[in-house]
């Protein structure tokens, strides 16, 4: 049945709410990293070497100078903040940490923020607390595979991922840090790796138990929560640089591309423009 609205009804209707950033979008650049101080906690770990030596330090300074050309107004790093506003208190010790700690949090994030004169750096990582789910329940996938005779299949998938990452690392071994990051930040590489590895795990499950699907769902949840934290910090017109492990890039790029009030900026031109190329 066709409903005709009266003039009075139309007059009382409220306009749809507009996202506060719709009038002036937040630009987001996601810099996907291999970890410079590798904690060995990723499924596949890449040896970054000693970035505290003179040569890598010069490369990091050149990278920071190139990123500074974009003039980010906020810098977010893959660290949890205990503060409600997500600021990181140890940014007050930035100079000391840059001089002594190899992590990209300090070598790129804090160094860039100091270069630009920022008052704060923000930590937007999300880790499970008490009563929260495991965001990467790989153990359940492996247990299901062992119980259903699928060890060879899961082993082949992990083997492919290991070989893919290591072959790329070998190919760019003689390159500068910025040049290595060109690979990690290529959207085609991120999509290909994500599809083969994560969606490849969807087949590990049955009608009663689907650990592969659950792993995909919880990984999405972690990244969605991380982007929601970025949204807490971002204001209309901001240029937000997110420095994060490259495994997160697929989903964070997605959120920056489709969330109302946001637009995604490609990091590649700034990586390619960095001085001191070696390959």
What tens digit of pLDDT does each residue of 54-100 get?
999 999 999 999 999 999 999 999 999 999 999 999 999 999 999 99
| pTM of structure | 0.87
Give SS3 for 262.
strand
In DSSP terms, 74 is beta-bridged to 240
Given a contact cutoff of 8 angstroms between Cβ atoms, the answer to whether 262 and 28 are in contact is yes
pLDDT given at position 20? 47
Instruction: Tell me what the mean pLDDT of segment 93-112 comes to.
Output: 98
- Cβ contacts of residue 234 below 8 Å, gap of 6+? 21, 26, 28, 74, 240, 262
Question: Pick the residue with more confidence: 144 or 38?
Answer: 144
Separation between Cα atoms, residue 137 and residue 68, nearest integer Å: 37
- pLDDT tens digits along 203-255: 999 999 999 999 999 999 999 999 999 999 999 999 999 999 999 999 999 99
């Amino acid at each position: 049945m066709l409903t005709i609205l009266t003039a009075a009804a139309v007059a009382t209707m409220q306009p749809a709410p507009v996202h506060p950033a719709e009038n002036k979008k937040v630009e987001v650049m996601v810099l996907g990293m291999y970890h410079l101080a590798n904690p060995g906690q990723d499924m596949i770990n890449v040896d970054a070497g000693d970035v505290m030596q003179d040569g890598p330090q010069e490369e990091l300074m050149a990278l920071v100078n190139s990123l500074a050309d974009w003039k980010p107004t906020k810098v977010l790093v893959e660290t949890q903040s205990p503060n409600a506003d997500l600021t990181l208190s140890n940014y007050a010790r930035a100079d000391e940490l840059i001089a002594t700690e190899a992590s990209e949090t300090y070598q790129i994030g804090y160094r860039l923020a100091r270069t630009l004169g920022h008052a704060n750096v923000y930590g937007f990582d999300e880790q499970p607390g008490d009563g929260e789910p495991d965001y990467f329940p790989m153990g359940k996938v492996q247990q299901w595979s062992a119980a259903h005779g699928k060890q060879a299949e899961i082993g082949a998938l992990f083997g492919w991922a290991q070989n893919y990452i290591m072959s790329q690392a070998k190919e760019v071994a003689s390159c500068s840090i910025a040049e290595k990051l060109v690979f990690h930040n290529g959207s085609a590489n991120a999509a290909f790796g994500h599809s083969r590895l994560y969606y490849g795990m969807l087949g590990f499950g049955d009608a009663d138990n689907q650990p592969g699907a659950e792993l995909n769902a919880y990984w999405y949840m972690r990244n969605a929560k991380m982007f929601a934290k970025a949204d807490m910090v971002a204001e209309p017109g901001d240029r937000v640089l997110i420095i994060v492990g490259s495994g997160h890039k697929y989903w964070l790029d997605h959120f920056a591309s489709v969330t109302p009030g946001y637009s995604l900026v490609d990091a590649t031109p700034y990586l390619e423009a960095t001085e001191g190329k070696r390959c």
